[in-house]
Chain A
Amino acid sequence: MVALDRVHKWYGRVHALRGVSFELHPGQVAGLLGPNGAGKSTTIRILTGMIPPDAGHASIRAHDTLNQSLDARAKLGYLPESAPLYPEMRVADYLAFRARIYALDRSRRRPAIDRAIERCWLRDVRNRRIGHLSKGYRQRVGLAAAILHDPEVLILDEPTNGLDPTQIAQMRTLVRELGSDRTMLISSHILPEIEQICSRILIVASGELKADGTPAELIAQHGGPSRLIVEARCTPEKAGLILGLPQQSPCLTELSEGWTRIESPCAPHEPDPRERVASAFASAGTPVRELRLTTATVEDVFLALAHGREGTP
Protein backbone atom coordinates (compact mmCIF):
# COMPACT_ATOMS: atom_id res chain seq x y z
CA MET A 1 0.00 0.00 0.00
CA VAL A 2 2.73 2.45 1.06
CA ALA A 3 6.29 1.37 0.39
CA LEU A 4 9.76 2.80 0.69
CA ASP A 5 12.53 0.69 -0.77
CA ARG A 6 16.14 1.54 0.19
CA VAL A 7 15.51 5.26 -0.15
CA HIS A 8 18.44 7.68 0.08
CA LYS A 9 18.29 11.45 0.10
CA TRP A 10 21.12 13.96 0.20
CA TYR A 11 20.79 17.69 0.88
CA GLY A 12 24.15 18.88 -0.41
CA ARG A 13 26.64 16.96 1.72
CA VAL A 14 24.08 15.98 4.34
CA HIS A 15 22.94 12.38 3.95
CA ALA A 16 19.39 12.89 5.23
CA LEU A 17 18.00 9.40 4.51
CA ARG A 18 20.23 6.35 4.50
CA GLY A 19 18.52 3.44 2.81
CA VAL A 20 15.16 3.58 4.57
CA SER A 21 12.78 0.74 3.72
CA PHE A 22 9.35 -0.12 5.08
CA GLU A 23 5.96 -1.19 3.80
CA LEU A 24 2.54 -0.39 5.24
CA HIS A 25 -0.28 -2.84 4.58
CA PRO A 26 -3.93 -1.91 3.97
CA GLY A 27 -5.66 -0.74 7.11
CA GLN A 28 -2.47 -0.25 9.08
CA VAL A 29 -2.04 2.90 11.18
CA ALA A 30 1.66 3.53 11.63
CA GLY A 31 3.46 6.20 13.60
CA LEU A 32 6.68 7.69 12.32
CA LEU A 33 8.68 8.74 15.34
CA GLY A 34 11.97 10.53 15.49
CA PRO A 35 13.74 13.53 16.98
CA ASN A 36 13.96 16.76 14.99
CA GLY A 37 16.23 16.36 11.98
CA ALA A 38 15.93 12.57 12.05
CA GLY A 39 14.48 12.31 8.55
CA LYS A 40 10.73 12.19 9.29
CA SER A 41 9.84 15.17 7.12
CA THR A 42 12.11 14.01 4.29
CA THR A 43 10.43 10.58 4.38
CA ILE A 44 7.00 12.20 4.20
CA ARG A 45 8.01 14.66 1.47
CA ILE A 46 9.27 11.75 -0.64
CA LEU A 47 6.10 9.71 -0.09
CA THR A 48 3.86 12.65 -0.98
CA GLY A 49 5.80 13.35 -4.18
CA MET A 50 7.03 16.76 -3.00
CA ILE A 51 10.64 15.73 -3.56
CA PRO A 52 12.15 12.76 -5.38
CA PRO A 53 14.44 10.22 -3.70
CA ASP A 54 18.09 10.32 -4.85
CA ALA A 55 18.21 6.52 -4.76
CA GLY A 56 15.66 3.81 -4.12
CA HIS A 57 11.92 3.88 -4.74
CA ALA A 58 8.83 5.14 -2.99
CA SER A 59 5.33 4.12 -3.98
CA ILE A 60 1.69 4.60 -3.01
CA ARG A 61 -0.53 1.69 -4.03
CA ALA A 62 2.20 0.44 -6.38
CA HIS A 63 2.42 3.82 -8.15
CA ASP A 64 5.98 5.14 -8.08
CA THR A 65 5.97 8.62 -6.50
CA LEU A 66 8.52 9.81 -9.06
CA ASN A 67 7.50 8.23 -12.37
CA GLN A 68 3.76 7.86 -11.72
CA SER A 69 3.51 10.82 -9.42
CA LEU A 70 0.01 11.97 -10.43
CA ASP A 71 -1.45 8.46 -9.95
CA ALA A 72 0.30 8.13 -6.60
CA ARG A 73 -0.88 11.57 -5.46
CA ALA A 74 -4.48 10.78 -6.49
CA LYS A 75 -4.54 7.94 -3.94
CA LEU A 76 -3.16 10.08 -1.19
CA GLY A 77 -4.55 12.50 1.37
CA TYR A 78 -1.96 14.65 3.07
CA LEU A 79 -2.10 17.04 6.00
CA PRO A 80 1.14 19.05 6.07
CA GLU A 81 2.57 20.24 9.35
CA SER A 82 0.60 23.20 10.80
CA ALA A 83 -2.08 22.79 8.08
CA PRO A 84 -1.31 25.69 5.69
CA LEU A 85 -4.58 27.23 4.45
CA TYR A 86 -5.82 30.42 2.78
CA PRO A 87 -6.98 32.67 5.65
CA GLU A 88 -9.17 34.82 3.41
CA MET A 89 -11.34 31.87 2.29
CA ARG A 90 -14.41 30.47 4.02
CA VAL A 91 -14.25 26.83 5.15
CA ALA A 92 -16.86 25.55 2.67
CA ASP A 93 -15.30 27.54 -0.20
CA TYR A 94 -11.86 26.14 0.57
CA LEU A 95 -13.19 22.57 0.65
CA ALA A 96 -15.03 23.19 -2.64
CA PHE A 97 -11.76 24.43 -4.16
CA ARG A 98 -9.87 21.37 -2.95
CA ALA A 99 -12.65 19.09 -4.23
CA ARG A 100 -12.18 20.58 -7.70
CA ILE A 101 -8.40 20.16 -7.40
CA TYR A 102 -9.01 16.46 -6.75
CA ALA A 103 -11.15 16.45 -9.91
CA LEU A 104 -14.30 15.31 -8.10
CA ASP A 105 -17.14 15.76 -10.55
CA ARG A 106 -19.97 18.14 -9.75
CA SER A 107 -22.37 15.44 -8.52
CA ARG A 108 -19.83 13.99 -6.06
CA ARG A 109 -18.47 17.32 -4.83
CA ARG A 110 -21.29 18.41 -2.54
CA PRO A 111 -21.74 15.06 -0.74
CA ALA A 112 -17.94 14.77 -0.34
CA ILE A 113 -17.75 18.24 1.26
CA ASP A 114 -20.72 17.52 3.57
CA ARG A 115 -19.18 14.18 4.59
CA ALA A 116 -15.78 15.75 5.34
CA ILE A 117 -17.44 18.55 7.34
CA GLU A 118 -19.40 15.99 9.36
CA ARG A 119 -16.43 13.71 9.98
CA CYS A 120 -14.19 16.57 11.09
CA TRP A 121 -16.87 18.30 13.21
CA LEU A 122 -16.83 21.50 11.19
CA ARG A 123 -20.57 22.06 10.81
CA ASP A 124 -20.57 25.10 13.13
CA VAL A 125 -17.82 26.87 11.22
CA ARG A 126 -18.52 25.91 7.61
CA ASN A 127 -19.24 29.52 6.62
CA ARG A 128 -16.55 31.14 8.76
CA ARG A 129 -13.33 32.60 7.35
CA ILE A 130 -10.38 30.30 7.95
CA GLY A 131 -8.29 33.21 9.26
CA HIS A 132 -10.82 33.69 12.10
CA LEU A 133 -10.64 30.06 13.29
CA SER A 134 -8.64 28.66 16.22
CA LYS A 135 -5.62 26.50 15.49
CA GLY A 136 -7.58 23.36 16.39
CA TYR A 137 -10.31 24.17 13.88
CA ARG A 138 -7.76 25.07 11.19
CA GLN A 139 -6.08 21.71 11.72
CA ARG A 140 -9.46 20.02 11.24
CA VAL A 141 -10.12 22.01 8.08
CA GLY A 142 -6.77 20.76 6.75
CA LEU A 143 -7.74 17.22 7.65
CA ALA A 144 -11.19 17.61 6.04
CA ALA A 145 -9.47 18.78 2.84
CA ALA A 146 -7.16 15.74 2.96
CA ILE A 147 -10.05 13.23 3.16
CA LEU A 148 -12.38 14.90 0.63
CA HIS A 149 -11.59 12.41 -2.12
CA ASP A 150 -11.77 9.50 0.34
CA PRO A 151 -8.11 8.54 -0.15
CA GLU A 152 -6.92 5.04 0.57
CA VAL A 153 -3.77 6.41 2.16
CA LEU A 154 -3.65 9.30 4.61
CA ILE A 155 -0.39 10.92 5.70
CA LEU A 156 -0.46 13.35 8.61
CA ASP A 157 2.59 15.39 9.55
CA GLU A 158 2.55 16.38 13.23
CA PRO A 159 -1.27 16.60 13.38
CA THR A 160 -1.40 17.83 17.00
CA ASN A 161 1.51 20.26 16.88
CA GLY A 162 0.66 23.52 18.63
CA LEU A 163 -2.77 22.40 19.87
CA ASP A 164 -3.98 22.77 23.48
CA PRO A 165 -4.78 19.60 25.51
CA THR A 166 -8.51 19.67 24.66
CA GLN A 167 -7.79 20.13 20.97
CA ILE A 168 -5.18 17.34 21.12
CA ALA A 169 -7.75 14.97 22.62
CA GLN A 170 -10.31 15.89 19.93
CA MET A 171 -7.75 15.51 17.16
CA ARG A 172 -6.66 12.15 18.53
CA THR A 173 -10.24 10.85 18.54
CA LEU A 174 -10.72 12.13 15.01
CA VAL A 175 -7.52 10.54 13.74
CA ARG A 176 -8.42 7.25 15.40
CA GLU A 177 -11.82 7.31 13.67
CA LEU A 178 -10.29 8.08 10.29
CA GLY A 179 -7.74 5.29 10.72
CA SER A 180 -10.48 2.69 11.04
CA ASP A 181 -10.95 2.36 7.29
CA ARG A 182 -7.69 3.40 5.61
CA THR A 183 -3.92 3.13 5.74
CA MET A 184 -2.36 5.93 7.74
CA LEU A 185 1.12 7.21 8.44
CA ILE A 186 1.36 9.77 11.25
CA SER A 187 4.55 11.63 11.92
CA SER A 188 5.05 12.92 15.44
CA HIS A 189 7.55 13.42 18.18
CA ILE A 190 4.86 13.08 20.86
CA LEU A 191 5.30 9.51 22.03
CA PRO A 192 2.14 8.87 24.09
CA GLU A 193 0.06 10.07 21.17
CA ILE A 194 1.63 7.62 18.76
CA GLU A 195 1.34 4.82 21.33
CA GLN A 196 -2.39 5.50 21.70
CA ILE A 197 -3.26 5.80 18.02
CA CYS A 198 -0.88 3.55 16.11
CA SER A 199 -0.71 -0.20 15.88
CA ARG A 200 2.77 0.01 14.39
CA ILE A 201 5.69 2.27 15.19
CA LEU A 202 8.60 3.24 12.96
CA ILE A 203 11.50 4.99 14.68
CA VAL A 204 13.89 7.00 12.54
CA ALA A 205 17.07 8.62 13.76
CA SER A 206 20.06 10.01 11.88
CA GLY A 207 18.36 9.18 8.59
CA GLU A 208 18.02 5.47 9.38
CA LEU A 209 15.06 3.31 10.31
CA LYS A 210 16.12 2.15 13.76
CA ALA A 211 13.06 0.13 14.71
CA ASP A 212 9.82 -1.12 13.21
CA GLY A 213 7.06 -3.08 14.95
CA THR A 214 4.12 -3.03 17.33
CA PRO A 215 4.73 -1.27 20.66
CA ALA A 216 5.00 -4.68 22.39
CA GLU A 217 7.51 -5.91 19.79
CA LEU A 218 9.63 -2.77 20.14
CA ILE A 219 9.69 -3.10 23.91
CA ALA A 220 10.55 -6.79 23.69
CA GLN A 221 13.32 -6.20 21.12
CA HIS A 222 14.82 -2.96 22.34
CA GLY A 223 13.44 -2.27 25.81
CA GLY A 224 15.91 -4.34 27.82
CA PRO A 225 14.84 -6.64 30.69
CA SER A 226 12.15 -5.85 33.23
CA ARG A 227 13.39 -4.94 36.71
CA LEU A 228 12.09 -6.07 40.08
CA ILE A 229 12.21 -3.34 42.71
CA VAL A 230 11.83 -4.13 46.40
CA GLU A 231 12.36 -2.04 49.53
CA ALA A 232 12.47 -4.10 52.73
CA ARG A 233 13.37 -3.34 56.39
CA CYS A 234 16.46 -5.52 56.78
CA THR A 235 20.18 -5.45 56.08
CA PRO A 236 21.44 -5.97 52.52
CA GLU A 237 22.95 -9.27 53.64
CA LYS A 238 19.60 -10.60 54.90
CA ALA A 239 17.81 -9.36 51.75
CA GLY A 240 20.41 -11.17 49.62
CA LEU A 241 19.87 -14.31 51.67
CA ILE A 242 16.08 -14.17 51.29
CA LEU A 243 16.28 -13.65 47.52
CA GLY A 244 19.24 -15.94 46.95
CA LEU A 245 21.51 -13.12 45.72
CA PRO A 246 25.29 -12.96 46.36
CA GLN A 247 26.20 -10.89 49.46
CA GLN A 248 28.10 -8.24 47.45
CA SER A 249 25.53 -8.00 44.66
CA PRO A 250 25.30 -4.55 43.01
CA CYS A 251 21.51 -5.01 43.10
CA LEU A 252 21.51 -4.33 46.85
CA THR A 253 21.64 -0.77 48.22
CA GLU A 254 21.48 0.12 51.88
CA LEU A 255 19.08 2.97 52.64
CA SER A 256 18.63 4.99 55.83
CA GLU A 257 16.67 3.78 58.92
CA GLY A 258 17.45 0.12 58.32
CA TRP A 259 15.87 -0.21 54.87
CA THR A 260 17.44 -1.90 51.85
CA ARG A 261 16.57 -1.39 48.20
CA ILE A 262 16.81 -4.30 45.74
CA GLU A 263 16.80 -3.64 42.00
CA SER A 264 17.15 -6.87 40.11
CA PRO A 265 16.83 -7.48 36.34
CA CYS A 266 14.44 -10.25 35.34
CA ALA A 267 15.30 -12.61 32.51
CA PRO A 268 13.02 -12.33 29.45
CA HIS A 269 10.03 -14.70 29.58
CA GLU A 270 10.61 -15.34 33.30
CA PRO A 271 7.24 -15.60 35.13
CA ASP A 272 6.22 -12.62 37.27
CA PRO A 273 8.41 -13.00 40.40
CA ARG A 274 6.41 -10.66 42.69
CA GLU A 275 4.27 -13.29 44.43
CA ARG A 276 7.31 -15.50 45.14
CA VAL A 277 9.29 -12.54 46.49
CA ALA A 278 6.41 -11.29 48.68
CA SER A 279 6.01 -14.80 50.16
CA ALA A 280 9.76 -15.08 50.82
CA PHE A 281 9.87 -11.78 52.76
CA ALA A 282 6.64 -12.63 54.62
CA SER A 283 8.06 -16.02 55.67
CA ALA A 284 11.21 -14.29 56.95
CA GLY A 285 9.03 -11.81 58.89
CA THR A 286 10.61 -8.86 57.07
CA PRO A 287 8.39 -5.80 56.42
CA VAL A 288 8.22 -4.64 52.78
CA ARG A 289 7.16 -1.09 51.80
CA GLU A 290 7.60 -1.37 48.05
CA LEU A 291 7.36 -4.26 45.60
CA ARG A 292 6.97 -3.63 41.88
CA LEU A 293 8.01 -4.81 38.47
CA THR A 294 8.98 -2.13 35.94
CA THR A 295 8.90 -2.72 32.21
CA ALA A 296 10.26 -0.51 29.46
CA THR A 297 7.90 1.90 27.69
CA VAL A 298 7.97 2.96 24.06
CA GLU A 299 9.51 6.18 25.35
CA ASP A 300 12.44 4.23 26.82
CA VAL A 301 12.86 2.44 23.49
CA PHE A 302 12.64 5.73 21.59
CA LEU A 303 15.21 7.43 23.81
CA ALA A 304 17.50 4.43 23.58
CA LEU A 305 17.34 4.29 19.80
CA ALA A 306 17.09 7.97 18.96
CA HIS A 307 19.64 9.30 21.39
CA GLY A 308 21.71 6.21 22.11
CA ARG A 309 20.70 6.14 25.80
CA GLU A 310 20.52 2.96 27.76
CA GLY A 311 17.14 1.37 27.22
CA THR A 312 16.48 0.22 30.74
CA PRO A 313 13.36 1.10 32.70
Chain B
Amino acid sequence: MSVIAAIAGREFRSFFRLPVGWIVIALFLLLTGAVFATAILAPGQPATLRPFFAIAGWLLLPVVPAISMRLFSDEIRTGTIEPLLTSPIRDGSLVLGKFLGATLFLLAMFLPTLAYPITLWSLSDPAPDLGPILAGYFSLALLGMLNLAIGTLASACTSSQTLSFLVALFVMLGMLLIPSFPAHSLPIPAQRALEFVSLTPRMSDFARGVIDTRHIAWFVALTGWLLVLSTLALQSRRWR
Protein backbone atom coordinates (compact mmCIF):
# COMPACT_ATOMS: atom_id res chain seq x y z
CA MET B 1 0.00 0.00 0.00
CA SER B 2 2.88 2.32 0.85
CA VAL B 3 4.41 1.57 -2.54
CA ILE B 4 1.17 2.50 -4.34
CA ALA B 5 1.01 5.73 -2.29
CA ALA B 6 4.66 6.49 -3.16
CA ILE B 7 3.99 6.05 -6.89
CA ALA B 8 0.74 8.05 -6.72
CA GLY B 9 2.43 10.85 -4.74
CA ARG B 10 5.35 11.11 -7.16
CA GLU B 11 2.99 11.14 -10.13
CA PHE B 12 0.74 13.78 -8.57
CA ARG B 13 3.64 16.09 -7.67
CA SER B 14 5.30 15.66 -11.07
CA PHE B 15 2.27 17.27 -12.78
CA PHE B 16 2.91 20.44 -10.78
CA ARG B 17 6.67 20.37 -11.47
CA LEU B 18 6.13 20.32 -15.23
CA PRO B 19 4.52 22.92 -17.51
CA VAL B 20 2.08 20.31 -18.86
CA GLY B 21 0.21 20.15 -15.52
CA TRP B 22 -0.32 23.90 -15.31
CA ILE B 23 -1.29 24.15 -18.99
CA VAL B 24 -3.88 21.39 -18.55
CA ILE B 25 -5.37 23.15 -15.51
CA ALA B 26 -5.44 26.50 -17.35
CA LEU B 27 -7.08 24.92 -20.39
CA PHE B 28 -9.75 23.20 -18.31
CA LEU B 29 -10.54 26.33 -16.32
CA LEU B 30 -10.74 28.35 -19.54
CA LEU B 31 -13.24 25.89 -21.03
CA THR B 32 -15.35 25.57 -17.90
CA GLY B 33 -15.18 29.31 -17.26
CA ALA B 34 -16.46 29.99 -20.77
CA VAL B 35 -19.37 27.56 -20.25
CA PHE B 36 -20.17 29.07 -16.86
CA ALA B 37 -20.06 32.66 -18.11
CA THR B 38 -22.10 32.10 -21.27
CA ALA B 39 -24.56 29.30 -20.45
CA ILE B 40 -25.08 29.60 -16.68
CA LEU B 41 -24.32 33.12 -15.52
CA ALA B 42 -27.01 34.70 -17.70
CA PRO B 43 -29.80 36.93 -16.34
CA GLY B 44 -33.14 35.12 -16.04
CA GLN B 45 -31.55 31.64 -16.16
CA PRO B 46 -32.37 29.18 -13.34
CA ALA B 47 -29.54 28.88 -10.76
CA THR B 48 -28.24 25.49 -11.72
CA LEU B 49 -24.96 23.97 -12.95
CA ARG B 50 -26.86 21.47 -15.09
CA PRO B 51 -25.52 22.80 -18.44
CA PHE B 52 -21.98 22.59 -17.03
CA PHE B 53 -22.29 18.96 -15.96
CA ALA B 54 -24.24 18.00 -19.09
CA ILE B 55 -21.27 18.88 -21.32
CA ALA B 56 -18.65 17.71 -18.81
CA GLY B 57 -17.67 14.82 -21.11
CA TRP B 58 -16.77 17.29 -23.86
CA LEU B 59 -14.85 19.51 -21.45
CA LEU B 60 -12.69 16.61 -20.32
CA LEU B 61 -12.02 15.52 -23.89
CA PRO B 62 -8.89 17.62 -24.55
CA VAL B 63 -7.48 17.57 -21.01
CA VAL B 64 -7.66 13.97 -19.77
CA PRO B 65 -5.57 12.48 -22.62
CA ALA B 66 -2.96 15.19 -21.95
CA ILE B 67 -2.75 13.94 -18.35
CA SER B 68 -2.81 10.23 -19.13
CA MET B 69 -0.39 10.24 -22.08
CA ARG B 70 2.55 10.81 -19.74
CA LEU B 71 1.75 8.00 -17.33
CA PHE B 72 3.57 5.19 -19.13
CA SER B 73 4.48 6.38 -22.64
CA ASP B 74 6.92 8.96 -21.31
CA GLU B 75 8.51 6.48 -18.90
CA ILE B 76 8.84 3.85 -21.63
CA ARG B 77 10.40 6.40 -24.01
CA THR B 78 12.90 7.80 -21.49
CA GLY B 79 13.70 4.43 -19.90
CA THR B 80 12.61 5.47 -16.39
CA ILE B 81 10.19 2.53 -16.50
CA GLU B 82 13.20 0.18 -16.22
CA PRO B 83 14.10 0.94 -12.57
CA LEU B 84 10.40 0.55 -11.73
CA LEU B 85 9.95 -2.77 -13.55
CA THR B 86 13.09 -4.16 -11.89
CA SER B 87 12.04 -3.03 -8.40
CA PRO B 88 10.16 -5.40 -6.09
CA ILE B 89 6.71 -4.01 -7.01
CA ARG B 90 3.84 -5.70 -8.81
CA ASP B 91 2.85 -4.38 -12.22
CA GLY B 92 -0.70 -3.94 -10.88
CA SER B 93 0.57 -1.72 -8.04
CA LEU B 94 2.45 0.38 -10.57
CA VAL B 95 -0.65 0.85 -12.72
CA LEU B 96 -2.85 1.59 -9.71
CA GLY B 97 -0.33 4.04 -8.23
CA LYS B 98 0.00 5.96 -11.46
CA PHE B 99 -3.77 5.97 -12.01
CA LEU B 100 -4.40 7.25 -8.49
CA GLY B 101 -1.77 9.97 -8.90
CA ALA B 102 -3.44 11.13 -12.12
CA THR B 103 -6.88 10.95 -10.46
CA LEU B 104 -5.66 13.13 -7.57
CA PHE B 105 -4.40 15.65 -10.10
CA LEU B 106 -7.78 15.57 -11.88
CA LEU B 107 -9.60 16.19 -8.60
CA ALA B 108 -7.20 19.04 -7.81
CA MET B 109 -8.04 20.45 -11.24
CA PHE B 110 -11.77 20.39 -10.36
CA LEU B 111 -11.21 22.32 -7.10
CA PRO B 112 -11.08 25.83 -8.61
CA THR B 113 -14.40 25.15 -10.39
CA LEU B 114 -16.06 25.20 -6.94
CA ALA B 115 -15.99 28.95 -7.50
CA TYR B 116 -18.93 28.48 -9.91
CA PRO B 117 -21.46 27.06 -7.40
CA ILE B 118 -20.20 29.55 -4.78
CA THR B 119 -20.84 32.39 -7.25
CA LEU B 120 -24.33 31.02 -7.93
CA TRP B 121 -25.07 30.90 -4.21
CA SER B 122 -23.97 34.44 -3.66
CA LEU B 123 -25.83 35.84 -6.67
CA SER B 124 -29.06 33.88 -7.05
CA ASP B 125 -32.25 33.89 -5.07
CA PRO B 126 -33.55 31.27 -4.44
CA ALA B 127 -30.24 29.48 -3.81
CA PRO B 128 -29.41 26.63 -6.18
CA ASP B 129 -30.40 23.10 -5.22
CA LEU B 130 -27.40 21.36 -3.60
CA GLY B 131 -28.32 17.79 -4.66
CA PRO B 132 -27.74 18.09 -8.43
CA ILE B 133 -24.50 19.99 -7.83
CA LEU B 134 -23.09 17.27 -5.56
CA ALA B 135 -24.32 14.56 -7.94
CA GLY B 136 -22.82 16.50 -10.84
CA TYR B 137 -19.39 16.69 -9.22
CA PHE B 138 -19.62 13.03 -8.31
CA SER B 139 -20.38 12.14 -11.94
CA LEU B 140 -17.56 14.39 -13.13
CA ALA B 141 -15.12 12.49 -10.89
CA LEU B 142 -16.46 9.11 -12.11
CA LEU B 143 -16.28 10.19 -15.74
CA GLY B 144 -12.81 11.63 -15.26
CA MET B 145 -11.60 8.37 -13.71
CA LEU B 146 -13.10 6.31 -16.53
CA ASN B 147 -11.44 8.54 -19.11
CA LEU B 148 -8.15 8.37 -17.21
CA ALA B 149 -8.38 4.57 -17.23
CA ILE B 150 -8.86 4.66 -21.02
CA GLY B 151 -5.81 6.92 -21.24
CA THR B 152 -3.79 4.70 -18.88
CA LEU B 153 -4.43 1.71 -21.15
CA ALA B 154 -3.46 3.69 -24.25
CA SER B 155 -0.32 4.92 -22.49
CA ALA B 156 0.72 1.43 -21.35
CA CYS B 157 0.53 0.22 -24.96
CA THR B 158 2.92 2.66 -26.62
CA SER B 159 6.06 4.70 -26.05
CA SER B 160 4.64 7.51 -28.20
CA GLN B 161 2.85 10.18 -26.17
CA THR B 162 1.21 11.52 -29.35
CA LEU B 163 -0.25 8.12 -30.18
CA SER B 164 -1.36 7.63 -26.59
CA PHE B 165 -3.08 11.05 -26.63
CA LEU B 166 -4.84 10.39 -29.93
CA VAL B 167 -6.06 6.88 -29.03
CA ALA B 168 -7.49 8.10 -25.69
CA LEU B 169 -9.06 11.12 -27.39
CA PHE B 170 -10.76 9.08 -30.11
CA VAL B 171 -12.07 6.39 -27.75
CA MET B 172 -13.50 9.08 -25.45
CA LEU B 173 -14.95 10.88 -28.47
CA GLY B 174 -16.46 7.64 -29.74
CA MET B 175 -18.22 7.03 -26.42
CA LEU B 176 -19.64 10.56 -26.48
CA LEU B 177 -20.82 10.27 -30.07
CA ILE B 178 -22.73 7.00 -29.61
CA PRO B 179 -26.15 8.74 -29.30
CA SER B 180 -25.61 10.33 -32.73
CA PHE B 181 -24.95 6.94 -34.30
CA PRO B 182 -27.84 5.60 -36.42
CA ALA B 183 -28.20 2.52 -34.21
CA HIS B 184 -31.70 1.59 -35.48
CA SER B 185 -30.11 0.05 -38.60
CA LEU B 186 -28.07 -2.36 -36.46
CA PRO B 187 -29.16 -5.76 -35.13
CA ILE B 188 -30.77 -5.68 -31.66
CA PRO B 189 -27.71 -7.11 -29.76
CA ALA B 190 -25.46 -4.46 -31.32
CA GLN B 191 -27.96 -1.74 -30.35
CA ARG B 192 -27.97 -3.06 -26.78
CA ALA B 193 -24.15 -3.11 -26.71
CA LEU B 194 -24.02 0.50 -27.90
CA GLU B 195 -26.57 1.52 -25.28
CA PHE B 196 -24.47 -0.24 -22.65
CA VAL B 197 -21.29 1.70 -23.41
CA SER B 198 -23.07 5.01 -23.99
CA LEU B 199 -22.19 7.73 -21.48
CA THR B 200 -24.89 10.26 -22.28
CA PRO B 201 -27.95 8.75 -20.49
CA ARG B 202 -25.87 8.11 -17.35
CA MET B 203 -24.44 11.62 -17.30
CA SER B 204 -27.91 13.12 -17.86
CA ASP B 205 -29.23 11.23 -14.82
CA PHE B 206 -26.40 12.53 -12.65
CA ALA B 207 -26.95 16.08 -13.96
CA ARG B 208 -30.60 15.84 -12.84
CA GLY B 209 -29.36 14.94 -9.36
CA VAL B 210 -30.19 11.22 -9.66
CA ILE B 211 -27.48 9.00 -8.15
CA ASP B 212 -28.24 5.55 -9.54
CA THR B 213 -26.09 2.76 -8.10
CA ARG B 214 -26.29 0.92 -11.45
CA HIS B 215 -24.53 3.86 -13.07
CA ILE B 216 -21.90 3.99 -10.30
CA ALA B 217 -21.31 0.25 -10.65
CA TRP B 218 -20.98 0.69 -14.44
CA PHE B 219 -18.33 3.42 -14.09
CA VAL B 220 -16.39 1.59 -11.37
CA ALA B 221 -16.48 -1.79 -13.16
CA LEU B 222 -15.42 -0.35 -16.51
CA THR B 223 -12.63 1.67 -14.89
CA GLY B 224 -11.46 -1.44 -13.02
CA TRP B 225 -11.44 -3.55 -16.17
CA LEU B 226 -9.48 -0.94 -18.07
CA LEU B 227 -6.88 -0.88 -15.27
CA VAL B 228 -6.64 -4.68 -15.38
CA LEU B 229 -6.10 -4.44 -19.15
CA SER B 230 -3.45 -1.75 -18.57
CA THR B 231 -1.64 -4.11 -16.19
CA LEU B 232 -1.77 -6.87 -18.81
CA ALA B 233 -0.48 -4.43 -21.45
CA LEU B 234 2.43 -3.54 -19.16
CA GLN B 235 3.14 -7.20 -18.42
CA SER B 236 3.08 -8.01 -22.12
CA ARG B 237 6.09 -5.67 -22.56
CA ARG B 238 8.10 -8.23 -20.59
CA TRP B 239 7.20 -10.96 -23.09
CA ARG B 240 7.95 -9.01 -26.27
- On A, residues with C-beta under 8 Å from B are 48-52, 70-71, 73-74, 76, 78, 80, 82, 84-86, 88-89, 97-98, 100-103, 142, 145
Contact = CB atoms under 8 A, between A and B. Distances in A.
B2 interface: yes
B3 A101 contact: yes
A2 B63 CA distance: 47
Nearest to B85: A50
Interface in B1-43: 2-3, 5-7, 9-10, 14, 17-18
B79 A80 contact: yes
B98 to A, nearest CB: 13
Interface of B is mostly: helix
B239 A80 contact: no
B89 interface: yes
B86 A103 contact: no
Nearest to B75: A84
B80 interface: yes
A52 B83 contact: no
B126 to A, nearest CB: 48
Contacts of A86: 10, 14, 80
Contacts of B87: 73, 98, 101-102
B104 to A, nearest CB: 16
Contact of A78 (B9, B83, B89, B90): B83
B238 A97 contact: no
A72 to B, nearest CB: 8
Interface residues of B, number: 24
Contact of A76 (B3, B14, B79, B86): B86
A146 B239 CA distance: 24
Given A73-B86, A142-B83, 10 more contacts: A49-B85, A49-B86, A52-B238, A74-B88, A80-B79, A84-B82, A84-B83, A100-B2, A103-B2, A145-B83
A145 B10 CA distance: 15
B71 to A, nearest CB: 13
A44 B232 CA distance: 23
Contacts of A97: 6, 9-10
A88 B17 contact: yes
Nearest to A47: B86
Contacts of A76: 86
Given A50-B85, A76-B86, A84 B10 contact: no
Interface string B69-96: 0000000001110111111111000000
B80 A70 contact: no
A85 B80 contact: yes
B239 to A, nearest CB: 7
A139 B101 CA distance: 27
A53 to B, nearest CB: 11
A52 B239 contact: yes
Contacts of A82: 79
23 contacts: A50-B238, A70-B88, A70-B90, A71-B88, A73-B88, A74-B88, A80-B86, A82-B79, A84-B78, A84-B82, A88-B14, A88-B17, A89-B14, A97-B9, A97-B10, A98-B83, A98-B87, A100-B5, A101-B3, A101-B6, A101-B7, A103-B2, A103-B88
**Considering residues B14, B83, B84, which has the most beta carbons from chain A within 10 angstroms of its beta carbon?**
B83
Contacts of A80: 79, 82-83, 86
Contacts of B84: 101
Contacts of B17: 88-89
Contacts of A142: 83
A100 B9 CA distance: 11
A82 B80 CA distance: 10
